[in-house]
Each structure stands twice: as C-alpha cells, then as structure tokens.
C-alpha cells in the first residue's frame, strides 16, 4: 500500500506527530508491533499520566547538545497540550512542582490521542512488526509483517530501551545507523540505584524507609523524596540524579536539607543535654535511619557527652552524606533511556534527518531526555508536533 507519511511507533511522540500531520490533510499510517497503542502512557504516572509540566524549559533536558530541544519546546508548549486535554474534558490537577496528572486515568490520554487520530483520518495499526526499511528515489519502502508499505516520509518514533516488556526495542537506533546517523551511547535514566557489598549491608534492612533528601552528583542536585529499597535507593531525588550519575561518580546526600545540622545539634545539646543522640536525630529523621546512623557512625550517648567538634563533624556528615552506588536497576525499571540518535544529524526545527530527506526521528529515540515530572511527555508531544507540521 501507499501512504504519504509512515510513522513507526504508536507512543506519545508518534501519535502526536500523526495528529498534526493528519490535520494538515496528509495520509498517515502509524504502525506498532505492540498489541495496543500508547502502552507507556497507560502505565505512566502510576496510572494517572503526568502528561506535562508547567515549568518546562530546555534546562530540564539532558542532551549532548543542550540547545537542540529549544525550538520544538518553544513551538509546542505545555499550554498547547493542556488545551487539548481541556477540549476533551479530561479532569486534571497539579500534584507538585508544576506536574500535571489526570484526576482519573491515563487511559483518557490514550483515548484522546486516538480520537484525535480518527478525526484527522489517521490509520493506527498495532500488532504489526516492521522488518526492513529501504530508501530510494520514490521514497521509503517498508517491509512489515502485513506486507509492503511505500511512503514519502518515514517518522521513527519507536522510543528507547526502557521496559522491554512493554515493547521497547533498539529498532530506532538500528534504523538510524542504517542511514548513517551516529548514536550517542545509551544508558538507563530515571532509575533506582543499587548498592553492593558493605555499602549494601549498611542499609539493607532499611528497605521501605523514606525521607525528604537532596541527592547531589557533581554540580547537579535534586531535592525530593528518597526511599531505601532492598537493593539500594530510589525515590524521586534518586531517580532524578540517576540520569546524571555514571559508575564511579561520587554521590552525596543531604539527609537534613531543611537545616544546618552543625548548628542544630549544639542547640539540641543545650536544650536536651540528657537526650540520647538517636532520640534527637529521630525527631528529624525516620527513627530506623537515625538508629542505624548512630550504630554505624556516630555512637549513641547523651547529648551532653558529645564535644563541640564531634557534633560539628556529625552535623557536617548529615548534610553531606557519601553514598557509594554500584550501578542502576537497568532498563527493566528505568523510566527513560539516555542518549540515542545524535542531534547533530537532525534539524532542530523539524526533526528531519540531515542525511536522508524525508526521514525523521522524534521522541525518546532522540538524544534528548527529560527530568522526572512530565518533561519526557512534553518532549514527545513537542518533537512529534514539530515533525508533524512538515512531513
């Protein structure tokens, strides 16, 4: 069969691109090998899809070229997506830090995208694997499980490697390489970190303990929740910093981000000289953690028995706790894939390949990765829209 635009991947980016191109009157076919469209949207945001963030700026994205995302993000903003959500009467709320979630279910976002596809005359076919792609004078010839498709434009929206059980594949990267594009090395992002050996033993039985903390790696820091797990650490501050961390990098935690512990502890000693350190720390930290820190590092005596210098050292450590991570939980649980199709080979305004006219890469397959909090969907919508306007 013949079509104007063939989009590989019926995820967030592919569907937005399809809607935009379909509204322009282009004949659009979207193919996905999974059994239904938008699987990651369905599982996102704990089933309520954190579909955008009111505070989106290019600084919320990691890429070898930090300028690449600017154009697309400026031309399709969170307010554009919110307008679509409101048009479909989907109730939503701001949870925190500008993060917008559906009140009810992620299913509403997928339904909305599919309804818009239908209204724009877009065909979406699932359960259809793409086997081979060739490019010639007449455009693209794509061999699929259901036969040959010819298209003037080919949009690769096949996502990254995270959550293989949801249909993630390295297909987009292979296709990019086939057409001479470079791939920035990929790794799991927004992912729990693992600890090993004595570092794991120190915290192993704290699994389930959660606290607000700041996680820092180099010059990047995130202040949000931290959660001890059976194998290491997770929670939003850790997921965020995981995208900046590489094996061997130093990680520091501020376990008392709201106070200067080196000032606070002497004040506590003056106010409660007979209280044990673990009791004092237990007022500011989860009790199990306070106890463990005392067992491991600080001892546990009445406050009056700690010298000024000791309290200063304990305080400094609480505000700057070293954490030695051994790795990440990997693509199995990662929310995103860092790296991907090198942006040097793409137009930042259209996402078109600079090597092969008519070939486009959008969404997570591109080397643009957002923070936790709705930023990744906003990139998928914006890059999909940018390509959809020109394909």
Ligand X SMILES: Cc1cc2nc3c(=O)[nH]c(=O)nc-3n(C[C@H](O)[C@H](O)[C@H](O)COP(=O)(O)OP(=O)(O)OC[C@H]3O[C@@H](n4cnc5c(N)ncnc54)[C@H](O)[C@@H]3O)c2cc1C
For the bound state, the minimum distance from the C-beta of residue 190 to ligand X, rounded and expressed in Å, comes to 7
Can you say whether residue 81 is alpha, beta or left, with left for phi > 0 and alpha for psi between -120 and 50 degrees?
alpha
Cα–Cα distance, 375 to 186 (Å, whole number)? 19
Pick the closer one to ligand X by CB: 159 or 345.
Answer: 159
Residue nearest to ligand X (CB): 11
For the bound state, the minimum distance from the C-beta of residue 113 to ligand X, rounded and expressed in Å, comes to 11
Pick the closer one to ligand X by CB: 236 or 315.
Answer: 236
Pick the closer one to ligand X by CB: 30 or 314.
Answer: 30
Pick the closer one to ligand X by CB: 127 or 218.
Answer: 127
Cα–Cα distance, 315 to 214 (Å, whole number)? 15
Cα–Cα distance, 251 to 151 (Å, whole number)? 48
List of residues 6+ apart from 258 with CB closer than 8 A = 212
Burial class for 91, CB neighbours closer than 10 Å (0-12, 13-18, 19+): exposed
Cα–Cα distance, 148 to 116 (Å, whole number)? 26
Pick the closer one to ligand X by CB: 40 or 278.
Answer: 40
For the bound state, the minimum distance from the C-beta of residue 373 to ligand X, rounded and expressed in Å, comes to 7
For the bound state, the minimum distance from the C-beta of residue 291 to ligand X, rounded and expressed in Å, comes to 33
Cα–Cα distance, 184 to 331 (Å, whole number)? 16
For the bound state, the minimum distance from the C-beta of residue 98 to ligand X, rounded and expressed in Å, comes to 12
Q: Which residues of 63-72 are buried (b: 16+ CB within 10 A; e: fewer)?
A: beeeebbebb
Pick the closer one to ligand X by CB: 31 or 290.
Answer: 31
Binding-site ranges for ligand X (CB under 6 A): 8-14, 31-34, 39-40, 43-45, 49-50, 129-130, 157-159, 162-163, 167, 169, 171, 335-336, 363-364, 374-377, 380
For the bound state, the minimum distance from the C-beta of residue 228 to ligand X, rounded and expressed in Å, comes to 20
């Amino acid at each position: 069969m013949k079509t104007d635009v063939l989009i590989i991947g019926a995820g967030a980016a592919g569907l937005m691109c399809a809607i935009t191109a379909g509204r322009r009157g282009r004949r659009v076919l979207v193919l996905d090998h999974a059994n239904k469209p938008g699987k990651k949207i369905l599982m996102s945001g704990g089933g309520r899809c954190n579909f955008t963030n009111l505070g989106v700026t290019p600084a919320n994205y990691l890429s070898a070229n930090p300028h690449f995302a600017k154009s697309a993000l400026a031309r399709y903003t969170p307010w554009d997506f919110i307008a679509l959500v409101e048009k479909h009467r989907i109730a939503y709320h701001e949870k925190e830090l500008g993060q917008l979630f559906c009140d009810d279910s992620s299913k509403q976002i997928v339904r909305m995208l599919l309804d818009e596809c239908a209204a724009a005359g877009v065909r979406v076919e699932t359960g259809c694997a793409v086997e081979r792609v060739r490019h010639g004078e007449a455009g693209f010839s794509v061999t699929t499980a259901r036969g040959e498709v010819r298209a003037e434009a080919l949009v690769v929206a096949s996502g990254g490697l995270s959550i293989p059980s949801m249909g993630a594949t390295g297909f987009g990267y292979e296709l990019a390489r086939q057409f001479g594009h470079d791939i920035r090395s990929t790794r799991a992002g927004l992912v729990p970190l693992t600890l090993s050996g004595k570092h794991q033993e120190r915290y192993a039985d704290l699994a389930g303990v959660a606290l607000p903390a700041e996680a820092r790696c180099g010059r990047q820091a995130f202040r949000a929740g931290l959660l001890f797990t059976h194998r290491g650490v997770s929670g939003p501050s850790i997921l965020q910093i995981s995208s900046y961390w590489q094996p061997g990098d130093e990680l520091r935690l501020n376990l008392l981000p709201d106070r200067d512990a080196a000032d606070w502890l002497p004040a506590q000693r003056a106010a409660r000289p007979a209280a044990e350190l673990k009791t004092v720390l237990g007022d500011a930290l989860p009790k199990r953690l306070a106890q463990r820190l005392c067992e491991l590092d600080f001892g546990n005596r009445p406050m009056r028995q700690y010298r000024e210098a000791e309290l200063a050292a304990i305080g400094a450590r609480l505000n700057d706790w070293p954490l030695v991570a051994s790795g990440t939980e990997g693509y199995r649980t990662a929310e995103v894939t860092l790296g991907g199709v090198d942006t040097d080979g793409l137009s930042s305004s259209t996402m078109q390949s600079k090597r092969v006219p008519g070939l486009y890469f959008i969404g997570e397959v591109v080397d643009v990765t957002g923070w936790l909090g709705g930023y990744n969907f906003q990139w998928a919508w914006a890059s999909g829209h940018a390509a959809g306007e020109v394909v």
